[in-house]
Chain A
């Protein structure tokens, strides 16, 4: 249908109350709900994290209950990610804003009976943080996890039903596109983007406005807008959550980019490992076409734009912009030398703009709220917010969005809820395989592009992995190298061979054969790859090694000189022994040892033969007396 501003207003008005109930704090929300067709709304997270924890069954239980009990003034909404993935499945009941964590189908029954019908919130099922000591229920925004967060890119995630375009419209969706195509020139948009200070969220942080300006300046009948949704960093899932939770934000931003540079076609390159995201995108595209936000003559202006999805097939290097384009072209996803830059000669040889999902998720907000608003958030050089996928040894594993300049300490200790098991913080890894490890001494630096690169890491796409004292930094470096070595496309020689040789050197060290001169070789090879490789994958592949060597050199030296791994992670350097005092001679370990490495008579202390021991750790796990010592 041909979309007009009148129709847009009408749809928004029709749905606004319904959705606003979820946005407002409890009292206001309740007031609003009083006029609503629905007395209560039950929001069930349908993100990948919660799906994995079984949210489908929970949602089904809710549906069955309300059907069985013939409740018709309660709406069940499946949303995108709320962010607190470790505690999924997450359920929120509005207007109260009651935040239930680790929900179960049985819990769903109770919520219906006690809360929805009985009017009494099931306190014991709530996320404990939302229940104050005195028994009062706190709004979610007051919990440690959410308090310091600021949601721009994730604005709609966990709030709207991503499969319903009208809920997106209810929260000002497609209004930015209307504003752009009806009242702004291409240069106006570029100027606004430049003034906002928005920088690419995919890794290097190139100013988005500049990128668009270059592509706009290229003269060609055909141009393309691409979205990098090939989120490949292990441990990063920001983009996935946006795709799953707010797909229209991406489509709207791509259309705006298309208008700005003069492109009619967009491509979203998305990981095939994200089936839910792909499905929601497909639905969103179909709806956007139906409502006239994609297609010909958008808002009656003659502007034409459409979007196609292309699936990746499992190659991390395709996150590199030129490789992504070769992959869309149906070839081996190998990077191309630049220049020519994509803005001049990109996809199918045409001028192309490529941004990642999170970058796009900021666009409409900047258009609607202005550059001044956006640039007031963040630090001098890094504006706005950044979404991090917080993972590893941290209590609140999940998705967080914080203003640029937030410190690592705030993220770990406050938002993240600290490190479980009373362990000590050792390092945080940002930037994935291209980034580095930040040691405890830098825990108070404000996180922004420059700050991170100064301490040898990088923003990357936003994976933030927390490591405690049980982590061996040499092993972590090796883990990342294994990854890049596996994912190197093999086109340029420094990366193809360099990553493998670097990995071999690390292997040598973790297996107890390292020599001090290997460290020199590692440093030499790392700096070589940094300046000589063809693409960013190779140029940054050594960062995890370089940064751990910079901050944890003593661990490397310990592995080499003392043949010791303090974190007891490197198998070859670990030894199992029997504590003769604790050992009762029960023979359990000897009987279960797959290598026959444990000797000893009944009721006498046993001994492990180190020659035979394969370090499987079975004895340690089996011993009932804690007599096996790992060192």
Chain B
């Protein structure tokens, strides 16, 4: 039990545990102190100086995000000196910021814009030399526009501390300081895995995904193309946020309606191939155990994680499940089975995947994801891009009626839905593996692998054997798990890894929530709640029981891991070290 500290904030008594910062404590007094560089669990360096407050008896102003509370402290957050300082700081920041707000992807969702408005700033008071930087478009996933960067370092902290990638860092010093890749050769030349966590950490429009919206519109308006959309499990849990709906709203029905309103397109449920992945993966795991192939087996549905292994631990490639990700499986199913069945030339089929992820843009373009020169998936767009298409089409999203996914790929299990949260793939796999190995085992909920903590371990007794599993989200945590495995400190049979902390609900392609949401609420858990609710409310909860999966095997793929399944649903990896 931590010692409790009593202080007043604007004369309101507040009692908080020792070690709490003034910024956190102020929330108790119903005051949200504005900030730019502070981001809970990510960045706490006191550098932007927007969160300054007065502490009675202390000279100057202090940064509330890093200043711990003290017994009897008197804090004032709204004095003339504080307001003036914040205003001047914002004016200074704006004087170097490329104020292209009208066309900025973060227009109306920009923390700097909001502060400028709240503080009634004078845009031109400190007008002067503005540094000019080339926009870095060198990766297929992330675009960096330093002309808008405010040097809050939230992206750097994310990339270096949370993800341990270190693709970017600070360069030079003083007024010339900026963020970029070493030797400024572009993100594409680094070990960047395209996870996009930097994007969702950015308070302004300095980071965004490389947009593929125009290509999608072109395909939709091309009379020779049949366009198919499918949506990843977590999209329905977050898309509503782009339309100002509360975090944690399930908008699956509205989402399908909206996509169908974009043009003559079919909308399928990617959860279906999540089920397919589970069946293939569970089968692969059983095979690995029985044929003494490398263990533990790592999941392979996260493309950021795959690139992480390829860049940093190529020696672990044999431990990666050879299963394609649900996105790529879906593409493969559509361009083979579906085309064959409906007499469509795969060249005329345009497959759009809607995903919570920026790394998937890289995945669609991988050599391994082409079959006879035809890509499994033509384009992957993020939740944010989909919302922009919907807005661009003038669709009033919030008032839409619900529509079901198109057949034949509509139905999916609850196991597939929870793919979007960390531990979800593991739980889905355990449901199927337990049942396949021991027909009497009907266990559905594996609570130990749920929750938003970065590393979770569990041991389950399946068919008379103890099965040790591990779930990690965030690449820094992945690195920790790998190091523990490599040093022999830990032994697991099966390990699930998601590049983004909390899994796909918190993906780099998800709606960007401002710091005031991220700092004060449990964003990841609230979003994941949507998926777990969908799972518990549905009847079908195990992947292998999905009747469409059965049909797929019966009509086309024969059996998990068999020749056709192996050729189309599995893949290989390459060292990028």
Is B128 an interface position by the 8 A CB rule? yes
Is B4 an interface position by the 8 A CB rule? no
Question: Which residues of chain B in 39-79 are interfacial with respect to chain A, using CB atoms and an 8 Å cutoff?
Answer: 45-50, 52, 60-61, 63, 66-68
Query: Distance (Å) between the CB of B272 and the closest chain A CB?
Result: 49
Known: A339-B68, A498-B92, A530-B60. A504 touches B129 (CB 8 A): yes
Query: Distance (Å) between the CB of B288 and the closest chain A CB?
Result: 43
Contact of A490 among B52, B126, B128, B176 (CB under 8 A): B176
Question: Which residues of chain B in 146-183 are interfacial with respect to chain A, using CB atoms and an 8 Å cutoff?
Answer: 150-151, 170, 172-177
Of A29-37, A431-439, A457-465, A480-488, the stretch lying at the interface with chain B is A480-488
A486 to B175, CA, bound (A): 8
A232 to B103, CA, bound (A): 45
Is A499 an interface position by the 8 A CB rule? yes
Main secondary structure of the interface of B (DSSP, over half): loop
A492 closest partner in B (C-beta): B47
Contact of A532 among B60, B67, B150, B174 (CB under 8 A): B60
Of B83-91, B258-266, B362-370, B539-547, the stretch lying at the interface with chain A is B83-91
Q: Are B95 and A493 in contact (CB under 8 A)?
A: no
Q: Are A493 and B128 in contact (CB under 8 A)?
A: no
Is A95 an interface position by the 8 A CB rule? no
Is B286 an interface position by the 8 A CB rule? no
A494 to B126, CA, bound (A): 12
A332 closest partner in B (C-beta): B170
Query: Distance (Å) between the CB of A515 and the closest chain B CB?
Result: 13
Is B93 an interface position by the 8 A CB rule? yes
Query: Distance (Å) between the CB of B524 and the closest chain A CB?
Result: 27
Known: A528-B84, A534-B46. A499 touches B173 (CB 8 A): no
Contact of A525 among B46, B88, B174, B175 (CB under 8 A): B88
A315 to B45, CA, bound (A): 20
Q: Are A493 and B93 in contact (CB under 8 A)?
A: yes
A528 to B84, CA, bound (A): 8
Known: A528-B88, A531-B81. A490 touches B45 (CB 8 A): no
Q: Are A500 and B46 in contact (CB under 8 A)?
A: no
A339 to B62, CA, bound (A): 10
Chain B residues near A532 (CB-CB < 8 A): 49, 52, 60-61, 85, 88-89
Query: Distance (Å) between the CB of B96 and the closest chain A CB?
Result: 6
What is the total of A-B residue contacts with beta carbons within 8 Å?
100
Contact of B174 among A496, A501, A524 (CB under 8 A): A496
Q: Are B88 and A490 in contact (CB under 8 A)?
A: no
Is A359 an interface position by the 8 A CB rule? no
Q: Are B48 and A493 in contact (CB under 8 A)?
A: yes
Chain A interface size band reads: 20 to 34
Chain B residues near A493 (CB-CB < 8 A): 47-50, 89, 92-93, 150-151
Is A277 an interface position by the 8 A CB rule? no
Most chain B C-beta atoms within 10 Å of own C-beta, residue among A486, A494, A521: A494
Is B564 an interface position by the 8 A CB rule? no
Q: Are B174 and A494 in contact (CB under 8 A)?
A: no
Known: A490-B151, A525-B88. A534 touches B60 (CB 8 A): no
Is A497 an interface position by the 8 A CB rule? yes
Is B125 an interface position by the 8 A CB rule? yes
A315 to B173, CA, bound (A): 10
A490 closest partner in B (C-beta): B177
Chain B residues near A487 (CB-CB < 8 A): 174
Chain A residues near B151 (CB-CB < 8 A): 490, 493, 496
Known: A315-B173, A337-B67, A488-B174. A497 touches B88 (CB 8 A): no
Chain A residues near B61 (CB-CB < 8 A): 531-532
Question: Which residues of chain A in 277-295 are interfacial with respect to chain B, using CB atoms and an 8 Å cutoff?
Answer: none
A488 to B92, CA, bound (A): 15
Known: A490-B174, A534-B49. A500 touches B150 (CB 8 A): no
Q: Are A497 and B95 in contact (CB under 8 A)?
A: yes
Most chain B C-beta atoms within 10 Å of own C-beta, residue among A339, A486, A493: A493
Q: Are B60 and A488 in contact (CB under 8 A)?
A: no
Q: Are B173 and A490 in contact (CB under 8 A)?
A: yes
Q: Are A499 and B92 in contact (CB under 8 A)?
A: no
B178 closest partner in A (C-beta): A490
Is A533 an interface position by the 8 A CB rule? yes
Is A489 an interface position by the 8 A CB rule? yes
Chain A residues near B63 (CB-CB < 8 A): 337, 534
Question: Which residues of chain B in 94-150 are interfacial with respect to chain A, using CB atoms and an 8 Å cutoff?
Answer: 95-96, 125-126, 128-129, 150
Question: Which residues of chain A in 324-347 are interfacial with respect to chain B, using CB atoms and an 8 Å cutoff?
Answer: 332, 336-337, 339
Q: Are B95 and A501 in contact (CB under 8 A)?
A: yes
A500 to B46, CA, bound (A): 20
Chain B residues near A296 (CB-CB < 8 A): none
Q: Are A337 and B49 in contact (CB under 8 A)?
A: no
A339 to B52, CA, bound (A): 14
Known: A332-B170, A532-B52. A494 touches B89 (CB 8 A): yes
Chain A, 505-524, contact with B by CB distance < 8 Å: what is the 0/1 string? Answer: 00000000000000001001
Chain B residues near A497 (CB-CB < 8 A): 92-93, 95-96, 126, 175
Most chain B C-beta atoms within 10 Å of own C-beta, residue among A332, A339, A501: A501
A332 to B46, CA, bound (A): 16
B50 closest partner in A (C-beta): A493
Q: Are A339 and B67 in contact (CB under 8 A)?
A: yes
A487 closest partner in B (C-beta): B174
Chain A residues near B126 (CB-CB < 8 A): 497, 501, 521, 525
Q: Are B174 and A485 in contact (CB under 8 A)?
A: yes
Chain B residues near A486 (CB-CB < 8 A): 174
B126 closest partner in A (C-beta): A501
Most chain A C-beta atoms within 10 Å of own C-beta, residue among B151, B173, B177: B173
Query: Distance (Å) between the CB of B52 and the closest chain A CB?
Result: 6
Query: Distance (Å) between the CB of A487 and the closest chain B CB?
Result: 7
Is A310 an interface position by the 8 A CB rule? no
A533 to B52, CA, bound (A): 10
Chain A residues near B128 (CB-CB < 8 A): 500-501, 504
Chain A residues near B67 (CB-CB < 8 A): 337, 339
Contact of A332 among B52, B85, B173 (CB under 8 A): B173
Is A110 an interface position by the 8 A CB rule? no
Chain A residues near B52 (CB-CB < 8 A): 531-532
Is A491 an interface position by the 8 A CB rule? yes
Chain A residues near B85 (CB-CB < 8 A): 528, 531-532
Chain B residues near A504 (CB-CB < 8 A): 128-129
Chain A residues near B172 (CB-CB < 8 A): 490
Query: Distance (Å) between the CB of B115 and the closest chain A CB?
Result: 12
A489 to B81, CA, bound (A): 25
Chain A residues near B45 (CB-CB < 8 A): 336-337, 491
Chain A residues near B175 (CB-CB < 8 A): 485, 488, 490, 496-497, 499-500
Chain B residues near A315 (CB-CB < 8 A): 173
Query: Distance (Å) between the CB of B204 and the closest chain A CB?
Result: 13
A488 closest partner in B (C-beta): B174
A48 to B147, CA, bound (A): 45
Is A375 an interface position by the 8 A CB rule? no
Query: Distance (Å) between the CB of B34 and the closest chain A CB?
Result: 13
Query: Distance (Å) between the CB of B365 and the closest chain A CB?
Result: 35
A485 to B170, CA, bound (A): 17
Is A539 an interface position by the 8 A CB rule? yes
A533 to B48, CA, bound (A): 9
Query: Distance (Å) between the CB of B304 and the closest chain A CB?
Result: 27
A339 to B22, CA, bound (A): 12
Chain A residues near B176 (CB-CB < 8 A): 490
Chain B residues near A337 (CB-CB < 8 A): 45-46, 63, 66-67
Query: Could you list which residues of chain A lie within 8 angstroms of chain B, going by C-beta atoms?
Result: 315, 332, 336-337, 339, 485-494, 496-501, 504, 521, 524-525, 528, 530-534, 539
> Could you name 9 residue pairs across A and B whose Cβ atoms are closer than 8 Å?
A337-B67, A490-B170, A492-B47, A497-B92, A500-B129, A500-B175, A532-B52, A534-B46, A539-B60
- Top 9 closest pairs, chain A to chain B, by CB: A490-B177, A337-B46, A488-B174, A497-B92, A500-B175, A337-B66, A528-B88, A531-B60, A490-B174
Q: A488-B173, A493-B151 are in contact. List 15 more A-B contacts (CB 8 A).
A: A332-B173, A337-B45, A339-B67, A486-B174, A488-B174, A489-B173, A490-B173, A492-B48, A492-B49, A493-B150, A494-B89, A494-B92, A501-B95, A531-B61, A532-B49
